[in-house]
Amino acid sequence: MAEIQVNGVSLYYEARGSGPSVVLVHGSWSDADSWARVVPGLAEQAAVVTYDRRGHSRSDDLLTQGSVYEDAADLAGLIQGLALGPAFVCGDSYGSLVALRLAAARPDLLRGLAVHEPPGTSMLLADPDLRPIATAFAGRIAAVRELLEQAESAAAAELFVESLAFGPGAWAQLPAPIRHTYIRNAPTYLDELRDPDALDLDLTALARYTEPALLTQSDDNAPMYGEVLDMIDLALPKAERHLYAGAGHAPHLSQPEEWVRVTLPRILG
């Protein structure tokens, strides 16, 4: 176990391998362990750092309202504190939004970026043609939030997994430790939902990020993610796309060998 003090909180992190530095940023509900299936493949040729975002699992929880800005600042502090910069940063889901925030705010800390299906629903609301897609997705989030507001963490976690993340029946198929992690970290998702800027991005600021960016999605997931990536793609000068077949919302879990095969060359490049 290792910890680093960043912005007034202690963050749990793990480091493995040697070579070009890469930091993996987990999504909502989960923690550093969610990357376990891809770390060995990356660590053969890169220095890989995973960490629990503030409030999650083994990292400090200040019990105050957090923000995506804090998460981005924590990522910056981690990169600087461990002397990793400029680093290649990979983000999954909400972790993608954190990584993209950092790219917009501190492009000097990144030499490359890979993000999978950022849930930037707020970005779509301004476009009348896309607003129905965002509204439908927000409706499913609202049902999860209602359970969280009632402190029904287990029910909320199950509904999130089956209606937003992985699909019907997925909760029972998850290993018990992962289900436990989701339930334990349930309050952090409510915290994210209470942050008005959590699911938005400043595309004008992001356009100043000029390093390579890999934007990925899966062909069996919500169309909303593709619309969000289209907007990000237009903003970034050096974006490229990759479409996973049948990988769902977490290809690093469902298809770890392909995820490494797609991502590692960008990290090394």
Residue 64 confidence (pLDDT): 83
More confident residue, 126 or 76: 76
Using one digit for the tens of pLDDT, what is the confidence trace for 95-139?
999 999 999 999 999 999 999 999 999 999 989 999 999 999 899
pTM over 0.95: yes
Helix axes 131-149, 153-160, angle to 10 degrees: 160
Name beta bridge partners: 218. Answer: 244
Residue 93 confidence (pLDDT): 97
Residue 126 confidence (pLDDT): 85
Q: Does 219 have pLDDT greater than 90?
A: yes
Residue 30 confidence (pLDDT): 96
> Is 46 exposed, middle or buried (CB count within 10 Å of its CB: 0-12, 13-18, 19+)?
buried
Q: Does 1 have pLDDT greater than 80?
A: no
Mean pLDDT value across residues 250-254: 95
Helix axes 176-184, 186-193, angle to 10 degrees: 50
Mean pLDDT value across residues 46-63: 95
Using one digit for the tens of pLDDT, what is the confidence trace for 145-198?
999 999 999 999 999 999 999 989 999 999 999 999 999 999 999 999 999 999
Q: Does 66 have pLDDT greater than 90?
A: no
DSSP character at residue 94: H
CA distance 217 to 228: 10
Q: Does 4 have pLDDT greater than 80?
A: yes
Per-residue confidence band for 245, with pLDDT thresholds at 50, 70 and 90: very high
Per-residue confidence band for 76, with pLDDT thresholds at 50, 70 and 90: very high
Mean pLDDT value across residues 239-263: 97
Whose CA is closest to 53, among 195, 251, 185?
Answer: 185
For residues 170, 175, 181 and 186, what is the CA-based torsion angle, rounded to 10 degrees? 20
Length of the chain: 269
Mean pLDDT value across residues 24-49: 98
CA distance 235 to 168: 34
Residue 144 confidence (pLDDT): 97
Whose CA is closest to 117, among 215, 230, 203, 247?
Answer: 215
CA distance 227 to 59: 33
